[in-house]
Amino acid sequence: MKLPHPGSLVAFVIVALVAGGFIALATVSGEGPTSLSIGPYLRRVLAFSIIQAALSTLLSLSLGAALALALARRRFPGRDLVLALLGTTMVIPTIVAVFAVFAVYGRSGWFTQALSFLGWTDSFSIFGYPGILIAHVFLNAPFVARILLDSLSLVPAEQWRLASALDFKPSHIFRHLDWPVLSAELPGLAGLVFLLCFKSFAIVLALGGGPSRSTLEVAIYEALKIDLDFGRAAWLSLIQLAICLTLTGLLNWTLTRPPTAHTIRGLIKRPDARNGSLRILDAVVLAAGSLFIAPLALSMLSGLAYISDIVDADLLRAFMTSVTIAIIAATIACISALALASSARRWRVALRSPRIAAFYDFLPNTLLAVPPFALTAGLFLIVRRFTDPSAAGLILLPLVNGLAALPFVYRSLAPRLLTAEERYGRVAASLGIAGMNKLAIMDWPLIKRPFGAAFALAMALSFGDFGIIALFGGQELVTLPYLLFERLGAYRLDEASAIGLLIVIVAFLLAHASGRLSHAGD
């Protein structure tokens, strides 16, 4: 009997887990709430979720695009460090980002003190829209800038030489060289950033300022953790799933585009770098961007003096738990992505069925739409029948974190597998190389660096996750983000800053390793 393809098994397991979790959550209570009973509440939550996500997306894309263009035009001491920080902000935990934003924009932060020194007498509150938007832009604008900067670097050297020969003005360079790159990336980035902000949890929970400032994710958490209303949680989850699936359907094209062909080259000096007006504009943009990088640096510096105060058995246990969960989650994400990408390539190239291949491409992206709290709660209701509830968290944490990292890992690996097929597929077919031999001989030399980069990225995303641990955290299961949350709740801010420093250092190292591997030559 012929065994099914590994990618088909992974796809079946993912669909079964998601469907099973939602069914278990929806059927655990006798009857769920009607849409009428939560109508005004739901409208308020939806309105706030959409407005804050739209504003966060607009600000993140605007600042990110401006930063990318400024960094593409300028070379200065410390530029590599800035690029490393841009890569770090996308993987640092949101709970650390909240702490960092408080350090700068809070009541006793240096920004508020600077306003007071300048004579600003009106009070500046970080809670509500200001704090949420600052935190979202702090996390997402550097991510947008890094993606756009990488895309701008792929413009062939021949085009830059032609622009210099034709004496292009800055407006011509933007119209003919920069804008085609930006316009190709911005729609997908807009959908992704909107999706992440729409599902925001820790930032809204900490900076929302009250029940009137809740996203659907926070409302689901409150229904599960505080009210124990599984029916309402299921209803809210289905609404969020429907909205997010629509967004992921629009977003999916960014994962299915063929790999971009580009000329391998060194750094090219752009002709518009000599323009005086652009020099002033870039200086202003880089200064504005530093306001969002500053919280990260300040949060790191504030914890240096208290490292010795946090080194104890609890810290070591939390650190080892976080590392173990991160390794398992990264393994799940990378193996699943490799299997799904292999199946997508098989259906697209060998079996000539692009529609089925599109399903495998779309499946990882749908996980961005799944509410993690609802999925975890549903799976917990299933797992608790077979194991001790205290052990359920150890099972579900790496599983759900691995699924959450899968869309990002898949985007790294799938294009490389297609490239391997384009380069060596016919030769491998003529030699009868297939299965694991094909993976080892044809694919692995081309994907080993992206695989390592994706593994490091998945570890970073899982290491600092605070979402799911908020449901399971306790004396028997403590991770570093949960330990940080406990210290913040107890107002032990010095210890919290040191724990935040440790989390940021690990995230920085993993992001740096991911960046070096992803940009290394094949």
H runs (alpha helix) in 346-388: 354-366, 372-383
> Positive or negative, the Cα torsion across 308, 311, 315, 321?
positive
Q: What is the rounded (10 degree) CA torsion for 302, 145, 241, 218?
A: 20
365 with 261, same domain: the answer is: no
**How many whole angstroms separate alpha carbon 91 and alpha carbon 74?**
25
**How many whole angstroms separate alpha carbon 59 and alpha carbon 65?**
10
Count of CB atoms situated within 10 Å of the CB of 246:
11
Cβ(200)–Cβ(215) under 8 Å? Answer: yes
| 139: enclosing H helix or E strand | helix 129-152
One-letter amino acid at 57 equals T
Q: Which of 11, 19, 207, 215 is nearest to 100 (CA)?
A: 207
**Assigned token pair, 309:** 């105060």
pLDDT recorded at residue 263: 42
pLDDT recorded at residue 258: 42
Angle, vertex CA 510, rays to CA 509 and CA 514, nearest 5: 115
Picking from 247, 275, 301, the residue at the C-terminal end of a domain is 301
142 with 66, same domain: the answer is: yes
How does pLDDT run along the chain (522 residues), one tens digit per residue? 456 778 889 999 999 998 888 888 777 755 554 444 557 878 888 899 999 999 999 999 999 999 999 888 888 887 877 877 776 676 777 877 887 777 777 777 777 777 777 777 666 678 888 889 988 998 899 888 888 888 887 777 777 778 777 778 878 888 888 888 888 888 888 888 998 899 888 888 888 877 778 888 888 888 877 777 777 888 888 888 888 888 777 766 554 444 444 444 445 678 777 788 888 888 898 888 887 677 666 766 777 777 777 788 888 888 998 899 999 999 999 999 999 988 888 888 777 788 888 888 888 888 888 888 788 888 888 887 777 766 777 788 899 999 988 988 888 888 888 877 777 767 777 777 777 777 777 777 877 888 888 888 888 888 877 767 766 666 677 888 888 878 877 767 778 888 888 888 887 788 777 766 665 554
25 with 76, same domain: the answer is: no
Using a 10 angstrom Cβ sphere, with 0-12 exposed, 13-18 middle and 19 or more buried, the burial of residue 349 is middle
Q: Domain with 61 in it: what CATH number? A: 1.10.3720.10
Cβ(25)–Cβ(19) under 8 Å? Answer: no
pLDDT recorded at residue 268: 66
pLDDT recorded at residue 22: 82
Helix, coil or strand: residue 23: helix
SS3 of 66-127: HHHHHHHHCCCCCHHHHHHHHHHHCCCCHHHHHHHHHHHHCCCCHHHHHHHHCCCCCCCCCC
Give CA 119 to chain center in angstroms.
Answer: 39
242 with 314, same domain: the answer is: no
Picking from 301, 326, 353, the residue at the C-terminal end of a domain is 301
**Assigned token pair, 180:** 């085609």
**How many whole angstroms separate alpha carbon 75 and alpha carbon 71?**
7
Cβ(193)–Cβ(56) under 8 Å? Answer: yes
Domain span at 501: 1-31+303-522
> Positive or negative, the Cα torsion across 482, 486, 487, 488?
positive
380 with 459, same domain: the answer is: yes
Picking from 301, 329, 353, the residue at the C-terminal end of a domain is 301
Average predicted confidence (pLDDT) for the chain: 80
DSSP 206-247: HHS-STTS--HHHHHHIIIIIS--HHHHHHHHHHHHHHHHHH
**How many whole angstroms separate alpha carbon 145 and alpha carbon 69?**
8
> Positive or negative, the Cα torsion across 367, 355, 335, 449?
negative
End-to-end Cα distance, the chain: 38
Using a 10 angstrom Cβ sphere, with 0-12 exposed, 13-18 middle and 19 or more buried, the burial of residue 395 is middle
241 with 184, same domain: the answer is: yes
58 with 171, same domain: the answer is: yes
Q: Which of 147, 131, 170 is nearest to 89 (CA)?
A: 147
Cβ(438)–Cβ(428) under 8 Å? Answer: yes
pTM: 0.81
pLDDT tens digits, one per residue of 484-515: 878 877 767 778 888 888 888 887 788 777 76
DSSP one-letter code for 479: -
Cβ(371)–Cβ(237) under 8 Å? Answer: yes
One-letter amino acid at 73 equals R
Q: Which of 276, 266, 314 is nearest to 170 (CA)?
A: 276
266 with 315, same domain: the answer is: no
Helix, coil or strand: residue 123: coil
**How many whole angstroms separate alpha carbon 362 and alpha carbon 423?**
24
The residues near 317 (Cβ < 8 Å, ≥ 6 apart) are 478
Phi then psi dihedrals of residue 38, to 5 deg: -115, 20
203 with 320, same domain: the answer is: no
pLDDT recorded at residue 103: 75
310 with 374, same domain: the answer is: yes
Helix, coil or strand: residue 353: coil
Give whole-number Cα distances, 323 to 317, 407, 479, in Å: 10, 21, 9
349 with 483, same domain: the answer is: yes
pLDDT recorded at residue 207: 86
pLDDT tens digits, one per residue of 331-346: 999 999 999 988 888 8
pLDDT recorded at residue 168: 82
273 with 405, same domain: the answer is: no
The full length of the chain comes to: 522
**Rg of the chain in Å (alpha carbons):** 24
**How many whole angstroms separate alpha carbon 375 and alpha carbon 356?**
25
Please give the tally of structural domains in the chain: 2
Q: Which of 374, 382, 32, 390 is nearest to 221 (CA)?
A: 374
Q: Which of 371, 512, 510, 466 is nearest to 99 (CA)?
A: 466
pLDDT recorded at residue 51: 94
